[in-house]
């Protein structure tokens, strides 16, 4: 029996229970009627286990910016199919993602888990993933609708933008419109922020556009703790509050009993949640979580990484580093940088995951070159400078608990009995993590913990201790206080994601081989949070002193008189993460010094950049021969990168976002992040309007443009044609398709993929000359593989109205003007005629 048919049999309490989560991950079941729970999991880059602190592994795919850089909808559909298998291993019915907010500003913390600055590319690629997931019986919940493109004050800021403005409709909502044209996701997740003064989870106009104008039939759910009222969200159409019934539950029942909410309103929302269960019925398995390495999954992960890595610069034929059998046998490479030993597979926050395995890129390069992994004759390695933003957790190898075990001893005390522990444990990891659930008998507030251990210094020098704590703390070394801190003013989200906000540091001279007694005392927070879990956490951190000039000198030593130096640099999840935005896009200064020092002596210098956001490369770009954007490339990324470096795979990634020369030149620079006004309200203004990324009319701010990416081969374009195809749609109505064809020839020496990008230019005979339109807009694309010398005719079809219309704010509708439009593919240009004007407002 379909779940939706059970609606009349549900009691009011059961109905209300289905409209909120009951754990951090799942919704309730109704066992008496056989209605199952719905289990959710992030995300697209790796389906996470239920517990936030679980160490269970999962297949780790490249981050979403890397996925977008493939420009390959078919490949992303295969990713969706693999995610179904991963979701089954984690007993999840709903995969939370993909994330399709716009890359408005290169400082935004979650850009790495979003696709692009372009709405069509974002929406169509997201739709491909959704279709792949849902073909296997699971559900996809794309997020976060809408304008959730900054992390700072994300629960509070208001985007000062009408949802019926051109900017909203042509950029920010357009991505969702393209998504729903190409797929039918089971659910959509609302954003934390406000738009035009209303929180997205209760924004009636937003939900009406999606449901009424576009005809969307799925459910709407809030982001975690993103429901701010009881009545307004329900009446606006928010179906599910996550993760707990903070605003619903008893409050919602009281609203029904007082007449503020009708039972019919409840039924409408419950119906959506029952329909979601029916649409995901093939995935309703509830088993113990597990992880399995599946060959096809690993293959797709490697193809995604290879397809998304972008060759940004390649002077002096620096790449590939080996071109034939002879060069493979004699090529010598210096591999430099911590990220060559510690691969950057994911960004931070809820999009991160624990990969099934980690492959050091230096080892992948050795393997690709056929070098003996136990030999350093042809591939030498130097770590270079440190890349961390926070001090690492103290290693158990240096610690001994009170009971003689590797690690720490922790005792928990209630303040009313400060000398009698209520709980005691030994832990291998030097961290305590409680998030809403506390040790048995522990009172919060009104308690403290004492972490004790014995640290043996690995060397003599001035080493760094750090403490990341949610409460006031003191750190003692051999009975002497060396560090203390007050309770930090942080939110639960910052505790989860922005660890630097919790960190205090000090330098202490230590003697190598000597053991030191450590005592770390931390108080509980002084009050419990309302509506969100209260964190109770502390981490003991330690970092050995490093002479970075000496490590730079070592890198220079191995790079001198060698064929190619490959430097791994950039950022990882400590810099780019949910929960905070970056202040700068500059390369960390110590990494720049390393790059320039190595480039000064190496014959050829290749820089592999890890990031989700663009990096300001101005300090070193003229010093190096080649640059690759490797993104956060997942667990198979090192193998894919090695294939590209050695020429086994031809790079085919194309940028999905414009890279600026400098942050100060970006269109959004002065309007990011949210600004506080005299009334303590936070506001973001989209002053750049439609001039986002490549739509900006002045290209002088651009380092590398949207769509840029080099290859080891050459492609030529010829015979561009356009036609308009007219087919019956309904009685008296017709569907008009713009059909573009172009002949692509691989005129180079190796096989390669080319991305055909189709741009529309504005109507040249428009009667509305006062309506500004971008010089070009992406309206179609296709990726094609060509062998050397092969020519192929590529066809790209587009909906004519969607490709050529602009949003008319006066009419509150899309407007298609008759006249002559331009079409650009590569260096070729063509034109076509639109014979009739039209207004429309559907999907």
* Residues known to be catalytic: 223
CB 329 within 8 A of CB 372: no
Instruction: Report the distance separating Cα 834 and Cα 393, nearest Å.
Output: 63
∠575-577-578 over CA atoms, to 5°? 150
Provide Rg for the chain, Cα atoms: 28
Give the closest residue to 566 by CA, choosing from 330, 303, 323, 331. Answer: 331
CB 18 within 8 A of CB 28: yes
CA dihedral sign of residues 552, 553, 558, 559: positive
Instruction: Report the distance separating Cα 521 and Cα 182, nearest Å.
Output: 55
The answer for 713, left when phi > 0, alpha when psi is -120 to 50, beta otherwise, is: beta
- State the DSSP code for 324: S
Interacting residues of 547 by C-beta distance below 8 A, sequence separation 6+: none
Q: Which residues pair with 40 in a beta bridge?
A: 94
> The tokens of 546 are what?
């490093």
* b/e burial code for range 133-164 (CB count within 10 A of at least 16 → b): bbebbbbbbbbbbbbbbbbbbbbbbbbbbebb
Give the closest residue to 795 by CA, choosing from 728, 727, 719. Answer: 719
> The tokens of 12 are what?
């009011």
The H or E element that residue 118 is part of is none
Measured from the Cβ of residue 600, the count of other Cβ atoms closer than 10 Å reads 12
Q: Is 404 exposed, middle or buried (0-12, 13-18, 19+ CB in 10 A)?
A: exposed
> The tokens of 729 are what?
């749609």
| DSSP E strands, 56-101 | 94-99
Instruction: Report the distance separating Cα 741 and Cα 445, nearest Å.
Output: 68
Instruction: Report the distance separating Cα 95 and Cα 72, nearest Å.
Output: 21
- State the DSSP code for 230: S
Instruction: Report the distance separating Cα 402 and Cα 404, nearest Å.
Output: 6
The answer for 153, left when phi > 0, alpha when psi is -120 to 50, beta otherwise, is: left
Measured N-to-C along each axis, helices 119-135 and 173-182 cross at an angle, to the nearest 10 degrees, of 40
Interacting residues of 135 by C-beta distance below 8 A, sequence separation 6+: 80, 81, 84
Q: Is 799 exposed, middle or buried (0-12, 13-18, 19+ CB in 10 A)?
A: middle
Q: What is the dihedral of CA 179, 183, 187, 190, to 10 degrees?
A: 0
Measured from the Cβ of residue 747, the count of other Cβ atoms closer than 10 Å reads 14
CB 729 within 8 A of CB 748: no
Q: Which residues pair with 188 in a beta bridge?
A: 220
- State the DSSP code for 421: E
């Amino acid at each position: 029996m379909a779940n939706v048919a059970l609606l009349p049999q549900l009691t009011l309490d059961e109905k209300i229970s289905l409209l909120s989560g009951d754990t951090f991950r799942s919704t309730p079941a109704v066992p008496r009627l056989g209605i199952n729970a719905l289990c959710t999991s992030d995300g697209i880059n790796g389906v996470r286990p239920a517990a936030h602190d679980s160490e269970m592994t999962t297949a780790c795919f490249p981050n979403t910016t890397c996925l977008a850089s493939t420009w390959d909808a078919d490949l992303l559909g295969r990713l969706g199919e693999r995610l179904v298998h991963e979701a089954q291993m984690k007993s999840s019915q709903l995969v939370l993602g993909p994330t399709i907010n716009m890359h408005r500003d290169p400082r935004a913390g979650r850009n790495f888990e979003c696709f692009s600055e372009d709405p069509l590319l974002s929406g169509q690629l997201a739709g491909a993933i959704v279709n792949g997931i849902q073909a296997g019986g699971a559900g996809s919940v794309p997020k976060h609708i809408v304008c959730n493109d900054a992390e700072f004050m994300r629960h509070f800021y208001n985007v000062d933008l009408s949802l019926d403005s051109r900017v909203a409709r042509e950029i920010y909502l357009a991505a969702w419109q393209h998504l729903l044209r190409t797929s039918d996701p089971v659910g959509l997740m609302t954003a934390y922020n406000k738009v035009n003064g209303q929180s997205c989870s209760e924004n009636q106009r937003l939900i009406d556009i999606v449901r009424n104008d576009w005809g969307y039939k799925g459910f709407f759910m809030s982001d975690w703790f993103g429901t701010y009222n009881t009545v307004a969200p329900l009446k606006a159409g928010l179906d599910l509050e996550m993760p707990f019934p903070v605003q619903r539950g008893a409050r919602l029942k009281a609203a029904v009993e007082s007449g503020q909410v009708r039972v019919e309103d409840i039924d409408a929302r419950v119906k959506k949640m029952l329909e979601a269960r029916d649409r995901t019925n093939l995935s309703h398995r509830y088993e113990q979580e597990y992880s399995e390495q599946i060959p096809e999954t690993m293959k797709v992960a490697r193809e995604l990484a290879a397809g998304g890595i972008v060759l940004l610069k390649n002077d002096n034929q620096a790449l590939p580093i080996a071109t034939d059998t002879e060069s493979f046998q004699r090529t010598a490479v210096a591999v430099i940088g911590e990220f060559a030993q510690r691969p950057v597979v994911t960004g931070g926050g809820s999009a991160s995951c624990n990969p099934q395995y980690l492959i050091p890129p230096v080892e992948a390069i050795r393997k690709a070159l056929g070098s003996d992994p136990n030999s350093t004759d042809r591939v030498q390695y130097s770590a270079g400078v440190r890349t961390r933003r926070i001090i690492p957790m103290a290693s158990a190898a240096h610690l001994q608990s009170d009971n003689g075990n590797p690690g720490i001893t922790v005792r928990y005390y209630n303040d009313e009995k400060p000398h009698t522990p209520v709980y005691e444990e030994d832990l291998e990891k030097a961290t305590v993590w409680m998030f809403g659930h506390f040790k048995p008998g522990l009172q919060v507030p009104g308690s403290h913990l004492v972490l004790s251990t014995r640290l043996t210094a690995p060397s003599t020098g001035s080493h760094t201790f750090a403490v990341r704590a949610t409460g006031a703390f003191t750190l003692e070394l051999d009975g002497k206080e060396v560090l203390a801190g007050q309770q930090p003013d942080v939110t639960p989200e910052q505790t989860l994601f922005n660890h630097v906000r919790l960190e205090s540091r000090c330098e202490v001279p230590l003697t190598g081989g000597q053991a030191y007694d450590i005592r770390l005392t931390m108080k509980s927070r002084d009050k419990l949070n309302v509506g969100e879990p209260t964190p109770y956490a502390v981490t003991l951190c330690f970092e050995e002193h490093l002479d970075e000039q000496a490590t730079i000198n070592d890198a220079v030593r191995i790079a001198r008189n060698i064929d190619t130096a490959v430097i791994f640099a950039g950022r990882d999840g400590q810099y780019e993460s949910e929960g905070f935005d970056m202040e700068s896009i500059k390369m960390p200064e110590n990494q720049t010094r390393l790059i320039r020092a190595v480039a000064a002596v190496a014959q050829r210098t290749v820089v592999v950049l890890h990031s989700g956001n663009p990096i300001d490369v101005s300090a070193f770009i003229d010093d190096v021969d080649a640059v690759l954007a490797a993104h956060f490339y997942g667990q198979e990324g090192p193998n894919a990168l090695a294939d590209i470096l050695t020429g086994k795979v031809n790079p085919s990634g194309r940028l999905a976002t414009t890279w600026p020369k400098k942050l100060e030149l970006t269109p959004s620079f002065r309007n990011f992040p949210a600004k506080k006004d005299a009334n303590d309200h936070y506001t973001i203004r989209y002053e750049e309007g439609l001039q986002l990324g490549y739509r900006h009319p002045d290209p002088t701010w651009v380092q590398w443009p949207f769509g840029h990416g080099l290859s080891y081969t050459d492609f030529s374009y010829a015979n561009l044609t356009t036609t308009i195809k007219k087919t019956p749609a309904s009685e008296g109505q017709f569907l008009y398709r713009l059909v573009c064809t172009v002949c692509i020839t691989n005129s180079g020496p190796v096989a390669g993929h080319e991305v055909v990008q189709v741009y529309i230019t504005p109507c040249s005979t428009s009667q509305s000359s006062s309506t500004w339109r971008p010089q070009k807009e992406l309206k179609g694309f296709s990726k094609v593989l060509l062998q050397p010398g092969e020519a192929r005719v590529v066809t790209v079809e587009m909906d004519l109205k969607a490709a050529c219309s602009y949003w008319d704010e006066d009419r509150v509708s899309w407007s298609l003007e008759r006249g002559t439009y331009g079409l650009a593919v590569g260096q070729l240009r063509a034109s076509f005629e639109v014979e009739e004007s039209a207004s429309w407002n559907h999907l």
